Structure 1
Amino acid sequence: MTNRLAGQASAYLRQHAGNPVDWQPYGDEAFAEAARRDVPVFISIGYAACHWCHVMAHESFEDQTTADELNSRFVSIKVDREERPDVDSVYMAACQAMGEQGGWPLSIFALPDGRAFYAGTYYPPRPVPGRPSFRQVLDAVWEAWTERREAVERQGAALAEGLGGVFSAHLLDIAAPAGAIEPQLLADAVTALVTHEDPEHGGFGGAPKFPPSPVLEFLVRHAGATNGSGESAAVARALAGRTLAAMCRSALFDALAGGFARYSVTADWSLPHYEKMLYDNVQLLRVLAHWMRLGGSEEFPLEEARAAAGLTADWMLRELGLPEGGFASSLDADSERDGRSVEGGYYVWTRSEFAAALGPEAADDAARLAGVFGLPLGPHADRAAPLHAGRALEPEERELFERHRAALLADRSRRTAPGRDDKVVAEWNGLAVAALADAAWALGRPELLEEARGAAGLLQAVHWDGSRLLRVSHAGTAAGIEGLLADYAACAEGAFALYAATGEERWYAWGEELLAAATRRFVADGLLSDDAVERTGAAAVQTALAGARTLDPHDTETPSGASLLAGALLTHAAYSGSADHRALASSILGGLPTMLRQGARVAGWSLAVAQASLAGPLEVAIVGSPGEQRRRLHAEALAATNPGLVVAVGAPVGEDARVPLLAHRGAADDGGPLAYVCREFACRLPVASREALREQLALGG
């Protein structure tokens, strides 16, 4: 038996295609059926790599008795939160408004028009202290629906009105003039972040502990804005170094094959939640590339950063790279071990497994490395654990590990690998393009540029129809909803980064097209929202918010659509001289002081963009025929730490230059390349040598 989820782009939905529950994808058809049958809607929201989503699926959604109750009394909808973050954000807010903590799987009960009236998260198959069973919840909801219908509808209406007011309050009035960002605001943000640092284990807050990717990008940019001079720049550099070191030396990072897990269950980073997400890894790869531009620090040396970045890039290409181009969304937390599904089963080792992988001839090395990586001894020697040094390896330990890495990888490759969600999400792939473009130059690995081109080519050919961008594709075919603001803005971010790295004008042109579409589709009546103003298939979402438009300006595990748009607008303004785009970016950043009252940790990318705005625009135009000298000038420009810098590369061109920054720039009399360092299109005398360019960049243009 299959339900209506077979053939969906989302691996999470396809995982439930064989359930006895008559699941439907989220859409108007499902809500219309609920209205026709006059039954409530059950909406289950999760994602493919979610451990507890798999648990509830096995316990309840694969159970025939539970399925019979759902099928007879409800219309059941399965939602991938990664495919439909708009749906997830609305119903997560509804869950939290009802006093639940929130999380996934998210369980929502709604009226046939989409308005939520009851919510929770994971429910066990049998009641436990303080938690009813899932079937008890189903019975209670049905009893309320049939016996207290009027009260249920009042609850749904009141909640929708309240949520609509909350979401509307975040809409940005981009028509209003914005004041300038003051440098002290950013220095104060650094100070505030230091107060939230875990001084013992690194990172921010306690358990569970997540990689603070957008915040790290701000700290690295703040440190690089003045080449490390100034008190707050030094503080930012040290804080970023400590945080990166803590993560890269911990179980969060796969020391064997690269890549970061989603978060640590423990405050000391020693026990990861093993799912691996594209969006975490591309952001951290880019942060590491930018950290390398700074030259590292005592807290986190350059070579250690280079090793972590290289492994992460390799892991992305090997584990998430798709044959059609682009990158899959995630790897599951669970994998098979000893015949059963175990969280982290693919990644953990016992002492005996570790020794067997290296072989009897390397028994001493195995014992030493097992101790370095904290594998249990004594009565717990049969307990499997992740490889976790928790510190920088000594040179001889590093050499020993490198000597045996291939054997360990070969042994692990014989295990059952975690499942992969191979849908392509435009937003995360746009960020991947930017990360690979920057990492290619930082690591000196031009093959990473080819991977960036492949991902950008897929996005342009499959997701983009010339006026609209679709959020998701699978196996080379786009499907589902139009992209959200974050999709358009992240793809523009990636396109401009790829242009800077390659000088290929097609990517600059595509970035311009995306920005034009974004400002056309997400701005109305002077207000910026996350959803396109005119969008199909969103009726139930809008009803759940009493018709309100939505915008979440906060940066969470990924940058918000608004902050990404502000960054892409600033970049384009630096290339083109567009005063309108710079003003629009400033208007978006105008909400930063208000957001910072909730804490700097929810404004990481906004702070990073604000830092770029303060430091720029600093423009470098490199003009001349391709060759080694132009490549050296290009490399020097891309190694600069100023976060407000953009780089354009091309042949001599006149007034009709596709990239305005290149217009009227000539090569040397002998045809050799020249570099022009400019601020707001006012340029210093061009230079021909790498040393002279470095000197001008050090002076700030």
Structure 2
Amino acid sequence: MPNRLASATSPYLLQHADNPVDWWEWEPAAFEEARRRNVPVLLSVGYAACHWCHVMAHESFEDEATAAYLNEHYVSIKVDREERPDVDAVYMQATTSMTGRGGWPMTCVLDHDGNPFFAGTYFPDRPRGGQPSFRQVLEALTDAWANRGEEVARVAETLREHLASQGGVRGAATVTGAELLERTVIGLAREFDQQSAGFGGAPKFPPTMVLEFLLRMAGGGETSAESPTEARRMADATLEAMARGGIHDQLAGGFARYSVDRDWVVPHFEKMLYDNALLLRVYAEWGTELGDRAAEGIAEFLLGELRTVEGGFASALDADSEGAEGTYYVWTPAQLTEVLGPDDGPWAARLLSVTDAGTFEHGTSTLQLLTEPDDLKRWYRTQRLLRSARDRRERPARDDKVVAAWNGLAISGLCRAGRLLDRPTYVKDAVVVGNLLWRVHLVDGRLRRVSRDGVVGAPAGVLEDHGCVAAGYLDLLQVTGDPLWLKRAGVLLDIALDHFAADDGGFFDTADDAETLVARPRDPSDNAYPSGLSSLIHALSTYAAVTGSGRHRDAAEAALATVEVVAEQAPRFAGWSLAAAQAMLDGPVEVAVVGGASEDRHALERRARRHPGAVVVVADGPDDRIPLLVGREPVDGRPAAYVCRGFVCERPVTTVADLEAALLR
């Protein structure tokens, strides 16, 4: 019999709707029930594409005996971290504070006010590797609640005070300084994997936001001669290693969430919208043939695999199919020969590093393209045949909820790729997403975080939703010249400035009128996707560049000052803020390209967009509704580019050579 989650909108919660556990969603009534029964609250947080969430569900939450114990001794709450990032952020901070590490599934036990007094991640169904079983943990906590109440209260109060004390650390307002940016490149070089590229060891995640910062440092701005060379070397090596590795789907495009090894060979096979939206942008901006191919593959993956009926993008593809991880993606030499024949099968095996021993499990291999094929026609035919054969396998499940922030990132990626790769249909697809978010996710003048099947969900938009969607709208403005997108971005930024701002110039992750949690989350550091703070800085600085608004420029600079400690001490977790800082150090450069659509206008636009961090608005002519376009006329009937910094503009130019000179001055 289904439990309370049967009426949820989250695909992750619906995965647990048939559990024998008497789950609640996150709601006040759950805590009231725990208080009435005088039992603790068990909070379980995960997401639909999480492999170990599935494992713990099968082992424990689907087990009748474990469920019966939970139902008797706890009120159990299930949360989708992607739907409620505010709840996830608070209790992940508690988990890392108590255990030194985090991850999903996350398991916390709370008192009736939501204060945690125990936290952990995955627990097995029986003792394993020195780790207690989930049932043992539950029984110990039940005993502590019943017999050591003072100790439980003391731990909960200590953690509550710790969580409440966490906030931004303001540094001097120098994060935009060239010296700090150069020191950051040097710091990143110390963490760079000289053998396999990327940063750190295994598991290795795509450092996409850091790569955009490095590309910007390599391509322009007020930096030294040495820094661009080192920055470009790290960016080139990492982008190539990822594109050629097993983390990249060599048949259908798109990237998996991370590599379990340092060499990018074996991924954790789930594919996330946010990863691919960010990678689409950076590969399109890389400016190489390999990068263009990777970007086109990502765009086709998004449009072919993640696009919803309503025109938005689903959150993720699962890692599992046929009850195991990765089976959809891996091959043996015999399977290749079966599909391709005795000549092309062994050739493809050599090309794609598919061996008899295998690089994955049970003698299977992921596909790598470590060298360029010696026969491109043969490779493209091979690619089509293998993809067709793979399409007949059981496909991974899809988490089809639409998350506002990640769709905002997808808008930006499609806009950049559409213009840089000359794929105008990508821009049209981005417009559809932008309209969907405005039409469905804006309710009573406020942004909601998720929707599914065109129906908006209850969770309020958090800071990252406002930052990423506003930035996406500003990218739509730049590629379409339509002032509607400037107006919509302004609405979202006003909400952020009015409801999310902190006294020290930074921002909270939740609004001042959002649900009150045990702490108001605030994290300036990037993780798998940009922090709310860094995404908002990008949107604020771009809006200021287009409009000349001092309020938005001041807000961006003040917010950057609160990230300085993170940027200095842990630059891998400040890449997006550093990318914004580099652009602001250079102005950012503002370029208005005006004139009728033509090859000449396209050439000017293409060169302008290659300038790191430039804000480029393209339109047929002047438009009083867009301050950067006021008075911007073509020159003698020819398309012209106006290069400005701080709304001080040089004389218009009509050739790519003159534009390049103006950009580099």
Q: Contact 1:224–1:642 (CA<8 Å) still a contact in 2?
A: yes
Q: Which residue of 1 aligns with 2:538?
A: 567
In the alignment, is residue 635 of structure 1 matched against residue 606 of structure 2?
yes
Gaps of 5+ in 1: 293-301
> What displacement does 1:381 show?
12
In the alignment, is residue 453 of structure 1 matched against residue 431 of structure 2?
yes
**Greater displacement, 261-270 / 521-530:** 521-530
Q: Contact 2:284–2:421 (CA<8 Å) still a contact in 1?
A: yes
> What displacement does 1:460 show?
0.9
Q: Which residue of 2 aligns with 1:599?
A: 570
Within a 5 Å distance, the mapping from 1:45-444 to structure 2 comes to: 45-165=45-165, 167-168=166-167, 170=168, 178-179=173-174, 181-226=176-221, 230-292=225-287, 302-336=288-322, 341-358=323-340, 362-377=341-356, 383-389=362-368, 391-396=370-375, 398-444=376-422
SS in 2 for 1:252: coil
**Greater displacement, 571-580 / 684-693:** 684-693
SS in 1 for 2:117: strand
Q: Which residue of 2 aligns with 1:519?
A: 497
Task: Report the CA distance shift for 1:658/1:89 in structure 2 as closer, same or farther (over 3 A).
Answer: same
Q: In the alignment, residue 643 of structure 2 is paired with which amino acid?
A: V
> What displacement does 1:632 show?
4.2
Task: Report the CA distance shift for 1:590/1:525 in structure 2 as closer, same or farther (over 3 A).
Answer: closer
1:252-297 Cα distance to aligned partner (Å, 9 max, x none) = 10111111111111111111110111111111110111111xxxxx
Q: In the alignment, residue 442 of structure 2 is paired with which amino acid?
A: W
> What displacement does 1:225 show?
1.6
SS in 1 for 2:479: helix
Q: Contact 1:250–1:391 (CA<8 Å) still a contact in 2?
A: yes
Q: Contact 1:463–1:473 (CA<8 Å) still a contact in 2?
A: yes
SS in 1 for 2:616: strand
1:232-256 Cα distance to aligned partner (Å, 9 max, x none) = 1111111100001111111110111
Q: Which residue of 1 aligns with 2:621?
A: 651
CA–CA distance in structure 2, aligned partners of residues 378 and 430 of structure 1: 42
CA–CA distance in structure 1, aligned partners of residues 620 and 29 of structure 2: 51
In the alignment, is residue 680 of structure 1 matched against residue 646 of structure 2?
yes
Task: Report the CA distance shift for 1:379/1:500 in structure 2 as closer, same or farther (over 3 A).
Answer: closer
Q: In the alignment, residue 413 of structure 2 is paired with which amino acid?
A: A
**Greater displacement, 261-270 / 399-408:** 399-408
In the alignment, is residue 661 of structure 1 matched against residue 628 of structure 2?
yes
Q: Contact 1:335–1:342 (CA<8 Å) still a contact in 2?
A: yes
Q: Contact 1:50–1:104 (CA<8 Å) still a contact in 2?
A: yes
> What displacement does 1:470 show?
0.6
Q: Contact 2:210–2:572 (CA<8 Å) still a contact in 1?
A: yes
Task: Report the CA distance shift for 1:280/1:645 in structure 2 as closer, same or farther (over 3 A).
Answer: same
> What displacement does 1:467 show?
2.7
> What displacement does 1:181 show?
2.5
CA–CA distance in structure 2, aligned partners of residues 204 and 315 of structure 1: 26
Within a 5 Å distance, the mapping from 1:489-568 to structure 2 comes to: 489-525=467-503, 528-536=506-514, 538-539=515-516, 541=517, 543=518, 545=519, 549-568=520-539
Q: Contact 2:418–2:424 (CA<8 Å) still a contact in 1?
A: yes
CA–CA distance in structure 1, aligned partners of residues 622 and 103 of structure 2: 55
Q: In the alignment, residue 147 of structure 2 is paired with which amino acid?
A: E
Task: Report the CA distance shift for 1:379/1:79 in structure 2 as closer, same or farther (over 3 A).
Answer: closer
> What displacement does 1:389 show?
3.2
TM-score normalized by structure 1? Answer: 0.91
Alignment equivalent of 1:589, drawn from 560, 564, 570: 560
Q: Which residue of 1 aligns with 2:592?
A: 621
CA–CA distance in structure 1, aligned partners of residues 542 and 597 of structure 2: 24
Q: Which residue of 1 aligns with 2:21?
A: 21
> What displacement does 1:533 show?
3.8
In the alignment, is residue 484 of structure 1 matched against residue 455 of structure 2?
no
Q: Contact 2:330–2:367 (CA<8 Å) still a contact in 1?
A: no
Q: In the alignment, residue 625 of structure 2 is paired with which amino acid?
A: R
Q: Contact 1:258–1:314 (CA<8 Å) still a contact in 2?
A: yes
SS in 2 for 1:482: coil
> What displacement does 1:597 show?
3.6
SS in 2 for 1:77: strand
SS in 2 for 1:25: coil
1:571-617 Cα distance to aligned partner (Å, 9 max, x none) = 11111111221121111111343223422111111110110011123
> What displacement does 1:658 show?
1.1
Q: Contact 1:350–1:381 (CA<8 Å) still a contact in 2?
A: no
Q: Contact 1:528–1:551 (CA<8 Å) still a contact in 2?
A: no
Q: Which residue of 2 aligns with 1:296?
A: none
> What displacement does 1:124 show?
1.2
Task: Report the CA distance shift for 1:383/1:125 in structure 2 as closer, same or farther (over 3 A).
Answer: closer
SS in 1 for 2:7: coil
CA–CA distance in structure 1, aligned partners of residues 454 and 401 of structure 2: 9
Gaps of 5+ in 2: none
Identity %: 46
Task: Report the CA distance shift for 1:666/1:308 in structure 2 as closer, same or farther (over 3 A).
Answer: closer
TM-score normalized by structure 2? Answer: 0.96
SS in 1 for 2:651: coil
1:304-347 Cα distance to aligned partner (Å, 9 max, x none) = 111111111111111111110110000111111xxxx1100100
Q: Contact 2:170–2:564 (CA<8 Å) still a contact in 1?
A: no
SS in 2 for 1:433: helix
Q: Contact 1:171–1:527 (CA<8 Å) still a contact in 2?
A: no
CA–CA distance in structure 2, aligned partners of residues 380 and 591 of structure 1: 44
SS in 2 for 1:308: helix
Q: In the alignment, residue 137 of structure 2 is paired with which amino acid?
A: V
Q: Contact 1:3–1:17 (CA<8 Å) still a contact in 2?
A: yes
SS in 1 for 2:43: strand
Q: In the alignment, residue 277 of structure 1 is paired with which amino acid?
A: M
> What displacement does 1:378 show?
6.5
> What displacement does 1:211 show?
0.7
CA–CA distance in structure 2, aligned partners of residues 518 and 581 of structure 1: 11
Q: How many residues align?
A: 665
> What displacement does 1:224 show?
1.6
Q: Contact 1:224–1:643 (CA<8 Å) still a contact in 2?
A: no
Q: Contact 1:227–1:642 (CA<8 Å) still a contact in 2?
A: no
SS in 1 for 2:229: helix
CA–CA distance in structure 1, aligned partners of residues 586 and 648 of structure 2: 16
Q: Contact 2:312–2:436 (CA<8 Å) still a contact in 1?
A: yes
Q: Contact 1:171–1:551 (CA<8 Å) still a contact in 2?
A: no
CA–CA distance in structure 2, aligned partners of residues 685 and 62 of structure 1: 70
> What displacement does 1:369 show?
1.2
Task: Report the CA distance shift for 1:663/1:382 in structure 2 as closer, same or farther (over 3 A).
Answer: closer
